[in-house]
Structure 1
Amino acid sequence: MKIELLCRYPVKSLLGEEIPRAEVTERGLAGDRALALLDLATGKVASAKYPSRWRKLLQLSTATGADGVEITGPEGLRLHAVDVSDASDASDVSVALSRLFGREVALIAEPPVQGELDRAVPEEVLAAGPTADVPYTVSRFGQGAPTGTFFDFAPVHLITTATLGRTGVAWQRYRPNLVIRTDEADGYAENDWLDRELLIGSHVRLRVTASTPRCAVPTLAHGELPPDPEALRVVSRENRTVPLPGAAALPCAGVYAQVVRPGRIELGDSVRFG
């Protein structure tokens, strides 16, 4: 097996950027989910998992340069988040994004204490459509993720080319950090990786902790990719599995992992069980 693709998402729920290499720490890929939008009315972090309110997040792209994170979007939108600790920089970006979403938001670099986000029930989104207000659950940061990060559960997300081939879904919809090329003929090979360790290259070691339950996000438009309900329906039909001991069976694709030993990884690095 080897790394086919590396991607990070500098701002939570925005489109990511492909990268040739990455430093991996216990907090995941350097620069991944470094920023997020805070809904000032609710005190919750904005997430496309609640598409009736936040699906436009997936129309914004991010890129990391020498001057910080750049956010681009529809109608020529171009914003530089140089230093969100500087109130003037953060304010300019937040005002522009508040206009885009029609509600007051702030770009933040640290999650609020006991930070939360809303997650629409995926089956309800499929039935009613992404613009409908549907039942949702509330998730809290820190359940398996490093403290002080914007990860929903774990710092690294992996998926195999076999699973992508089986589902016929563009990798962007599942928002992985690593796409792993494998010789497996059948999809969902990751189901057998739970509690195993992966050695990447010569040094980095990851421990697979859970299968990845899929929400409504893969079904939404991602930039120029149109909506695709099959991105959720296909795994619901073919791969309902228990992501963690004691949990209910859920539609899953890919796996979450914790960082056991940090280091640098690159495209083409070997991936093997350690």
Structure 2
Amino acid sequence: MSTIRRLYSCPCEDAPGRAEPSPLLVGQVVELARYPVKSLGGERLAYAPFAVGGVAGDRSWAVYAEDGGIGSGKTTRRFRRIDGLLSLRARLDETAAAALGDGEVPLVVLPDGRELRADDPAAGQVLSTLLGQPLHLRRQSSVPHHDEAPVHLVTTAAVRKLEQLLGESVDVARFRANIVLEAEGVDFIEDDWQGRHLTIGNQVELCLGPGMPRCVMVGMPQPHAGLGPDVRLLKLLGHVHQVRFGLQASVVRGGTVQRGDLAVLG
């Protein structure tokens, strides 16, 4: 597939004339995930199409507050903290998954198991009642829903490092990554990958950016994933890793990634 125009800058291009490093096999895809509505629980995938905006259908919709801010776990210029979003999850039905595009509408799954289409006005009314403030659901327009970059990647080596520091297991689901790579070692190995390209499988090429800044969402309960609250993770990351975990990435060449695909660092 041809190189595609990116919406996010690529740090790999900031150093003209830099010698190309030798390709290195660094891991294998063990998890793929998509979050059709930002800050809600998402869905694990066996395969995922990647395009300029990241995983097709990822964070294409969001919950909006009354003042127009995008529902999130934090409050910034773009985002508004809305507690309780992670008690919900979103998915694309099988028909949508087979033909992803701008016209696809996710289903919002409520804590009681009911499902509502995101474009149904009743969905916003139900969420407003459930979360105690006026809310509505909206498709992404000119203001992106992604926090920092369209793709988020973590490694199991970094997860093992956190587990070593914490003294107990850490569920990778807390970090809401699009791609989880099984990688050798016990360290934040992806720190050394910043500014390089990563080819996954036979099609997709990513440009790896800086570390992903974390917020309180890493410690929030995720009932759909069986996770309770844990305030220790954010404090630990602030102490040992500048409150960053995983890498931001943008798409250089689109295509499909499957679980089991190998990842080669260029």
Q: What TM-score comes out, normalization by structure 1 length?
A: 0.76
Q: Percent identity?
A: 32
Please point out which of 138, 148, 156 is paired with 2:151: 156
Q: Which residue of 1 aligns with 2:129?
A: 99
Q: Is the CA contact (8 Å cut-off) linking 1:55 and 1:220 kept in structure 2? A: no
1:210 and 2:210 aligned: yes
1:195 deviates by: 0.5
Please point out which of 254, 257, 265 is paired with 2:246: 254
d(CA) in 1 for partners of 2:139, 2:68: 14
Q: Cα deviations across residues 182-235 of structure 1 (Å, max 9, x unaligned)?
A: 11x122111111100000001210001111111111111111311111211222
1:61 deviates by: 1.6
Q: Is the CA contact (8 Å cut-off) linking 2:196 and 2:207 kept in structure 1? A: yes
Q: Secondary structure at the match of 1:46?
A: strand
2:107 partner letter: E
How many residues align? The count is: 220
d(CA) in 2 for partners of 1:24, 1:263: 5
Matches within 5 A, 1:157-172: 157-168=152-163, 169-172=170-173
Q: Is the CA contact (8 Å cut-off) linking 1:62 and 1:71 kept in structure 2? A: yes
Q: Cα deviations across residues 75-108 of structure 1 (Å, max 9, x unaligned)?
A: x1523216x2xxxx2x111111111111111110
Q: Which residue of 1 aligns with 2:9?
A: none
Going from structure 1 to structure 2, the CA distance change for 1:235 and 1:53 (only over 3 Å counts) comes to closer
Matches within 5 A, 1:111-260: 111=141, 148-168=143-163, 169-183=170-184, 185-223=185-223, 224-240=226-242, 251-260=243-252
1:53 deviates by: 5.0
1:170 deviates by: 1.1
1:152 deviates by: 1.3
Q: What TM-score comes out, normalization by structure 2 length?
A: 0.78
Q: Secondary structure at the match of 1:211?
A: strand
1:34 and 2:60 aligned: yes
Higher relative contact order structure (alpha carbons within 8 Å, sequence separation ≥ 6) = 2
Q: Secondary structure at the match of 2:206?
A: strand
In structure 2, the gaps of 5 or more residues are: 1-26, 97-104, 164-169
Q: Secondary structure at the match of 1:55?
A: coil
Q: Cα deviations across residues 52-80 of structure 1 (Å, max 9, x unaligned)?
A: 95220011122210364222232x15232
